[in-house]
């Protein structure tokens, strides 16, 4: 029997006709949803206007609280939100860096600042009391959860030092949740006093959490936790006019990534943060995810391509990640051994 005769025999039965119609409808649905996702991706990245921060109370005396604010992405969030007219509460570990940044912000952008210095890895009650006292009575509308820690180099899970493991989970998860619990009631109070504005909570995610990442297992798990927590919080707070969003990034030049030179796939902190704050409410490359944004255009295209081909959780993606980080670990260990030998000489 030829293929044509086979399909002809199938379509002569009601079951065969139903299966054929169902297959066509599913195909049309898949093509339609994919096409709409592509259109949305292009609009989010290249066409839609930048987010207007007047809805979050910019230039009206309102405040943004930023964690991990003294360097890298946190510093850029502080500078760029100040440029939009928000007063800034700077939270980080090093008092001297915070003081310099606060002076710079106040002189350049003519806004007010407050600084709070503590080591997030200690997770002491005093830390959250400092935040609570500093923002008491302030009209806070924005919280940027940027504080975080990764592994010093890619490492097998079983070889991960206990302190590094504990610090990663404490800083990335527990401290982020406790700071949000401290700041959120103040945001709610601000919105109750001014019904015309909205609140905003941005939390920094990572491709390390988007993709299950071997040799960064603890960090990967901690960032994946933030994905579900942030999305759940987004649904919970939407009726109260508080926008919650997880911001995903691939590599960015920073102290954490140990990458100094930007490239097509690795922007500097300034350009990444610009893309993030200008696209709040969009999804970028995270078209398949609620309350999530992959804002930088090359990261977005990478995210979208993998999600719509082999899949985020596929064995292929996992294996590629495994091989990449195993190679990075080998190079890092060779470099460490070379530097140790040079010191001996």
Mean pLDDT computed over every residue of the chain: 94
The helix/strand/coil state of 42 is: helix
First to last CA, the chain: 80
Residue 5 has pLDDT above 80, yes or no: no
pLDDT (0 to 100) of residue 64: 98
Residue 58 has pLDDT above 70, yes or no: yes
pLDDT (0 to 100) of residue 3: 56
Lowest mean pLDDT among 9-18, 94-103, 313-322: 9-18
230 is in an annotated binding site: no
Lowest mean pLDDT among 9-13, 92-96, 98-102, 207-211: 9-13
Q: How would residue 276 be classed by pLDDT, with cut points 50, 70 and 90?
A: very high
Q: Which residues pair with 259 in a beta bridge?
A: 254
pLDDT (0 to 100) of residue 18: 75
Candidates 138, 127, 123, 53; CA nearest to 89 is: 138
Q: How would residue 14 be classed by pLDDT, with cut points 50, 70 and 90?
A: confident
Q: How would residue 160 be classed by pLDDT, with cut points 50, 70 and 90?
A: very high
Distance between CA atoms of residues 234 and 253, nearest Å: 29
- Residue 122 CB partners (closer than 8 Å, separation 6+): none
Whether the model clears a pTM of 0.85, i.e. scores above it, the answer is yes
Residue 299 has pLDDT above 90, yes or no: yes
Q: Domains of the chain, with CATH numbers?
A: 52-331 (3.40.50.720)
State pLDDT tens for residues 112-156.
999 999 999 999 999 999 999 999 999 999 999 999 999 999 999
Q: Give me the percent of the chain exceeding a pLDDT of 70.
A: 95
pLDDT (0 to 100) of residue 10: 54
Candidates 300, 298, 303; CA nearest to 266 is: 298
Distance between CA atoms of residues 218 and 224, nearest Å: 10
* Residues 61, 87 contacting (CB under 8 angstroms): yes
More confident residue, 257 or 11: 257
- DSSP for 112-174? -EEEEE--GGG--HHHHHHHHHHHTT--EEEEEE------SS---GGGS-HHHHHHHHIIIII
Give the mean model confidence (pLDDT) for residues 271-287.
98
pLDDT (0 to 100) of residue 258: 82
Give the mean model confidence (pLDDT) for residues 299-321.
97
- DSSP for 264-326? SSS--HHHHHHHHHTTTT--BT-TTSTTEEB-SHHHHHHHHHHHTTT-TTSHHHHHHHHHHHH
In the structure encoding, which two tokens stand for residue 191, read together?
């919105």
Give the mean model confidence (pLDDT) for residues 16-32.
81
Q: How many C-beta atoms surround the C-beta of residue 173 within 10 A? A: 17
Give the mean model confidence (pLDDT) for residues 167-195.
98
Give the mean model confidence (pLDDT) for residues 221-233.
98
Q: How would residue 342 be classed by pLDDT, with cut points 50, 70 and 90?
A: confident
Q: Is 296 an annotated catalytic residue?
A: no
Which of the following is catalytic: 56, 77, 219, 250?
219
Q: How would residue 345 be classed by pLDDT, with cut points 50, 70 and 90?
A: low
């Amino acid at each position: 029997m030829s293929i044509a005769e086979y399909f002809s025999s199938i379509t002569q039965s009601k079951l065969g006709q139903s299966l054929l119609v169902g297959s066509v409808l599913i195909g049309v649905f898949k093509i339609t949803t994919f096409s709409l996702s592509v259109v949305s991706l292009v609009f989010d990245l290249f066409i839609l206007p930048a987010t207007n921060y007047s809805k979050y109370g910019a230039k009206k005396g309102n405040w943004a609280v930023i964690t991990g604010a003294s360097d890298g992405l946190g510093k850029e969030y502080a500078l760029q939100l100040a440029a939009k007219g928000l007063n800034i509460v700077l939270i980080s570990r090093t008092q001297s860096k915070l003081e310099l940044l606060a002076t710079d912000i106040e002189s350049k952008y003519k806004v007010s600042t407050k600084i709070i210095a503590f080591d997030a890895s200690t997770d002491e009650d005093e830390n959250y009391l400092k935040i609570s006292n500093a923002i008491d009575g302030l009209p806070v509308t924005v919280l940027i959860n940027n504080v975080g820690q990764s592994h010093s180099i890619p490492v097998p899970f079983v070889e991960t030092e206990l302190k590094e493991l504990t610090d990663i989970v404490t800083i990335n998860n527990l401290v982020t949740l406790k700071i949000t619990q401290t700041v959120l009631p103040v945001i709610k109070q601000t919105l109750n006093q001014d019904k015309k504005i909205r609140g905003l909570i941005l939390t920094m995610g990572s491709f390390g959490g988007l993709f299950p990442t071997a040799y960064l297992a603890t960090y990967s798990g901690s960032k994946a936790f933030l994905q579900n927590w942030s999305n759940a919080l987004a649904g919970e707070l939407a009726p109260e006019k508080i926008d919650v969003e997880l911001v995903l990034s691939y590599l960015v030049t920073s102290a954490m990534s140990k990458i100094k030179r930007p490239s097509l796939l690795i922007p500097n902190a300034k350009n990444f943060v610009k893309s993030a704050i200008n696209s709040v409410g969009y999804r970028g490359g995270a078209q398949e995810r609620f309350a999530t944004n992959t804002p930088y255009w090359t990261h977005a295209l990478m995210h979208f391509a993998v999600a719509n081909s082999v899949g985020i959780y596929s064995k292929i993606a996992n294996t590629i990640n495994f091989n990449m980080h195993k190679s990075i670990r080998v190079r890092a260990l060779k470099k460490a051994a070379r530097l140790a030998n040079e010191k001996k000489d």
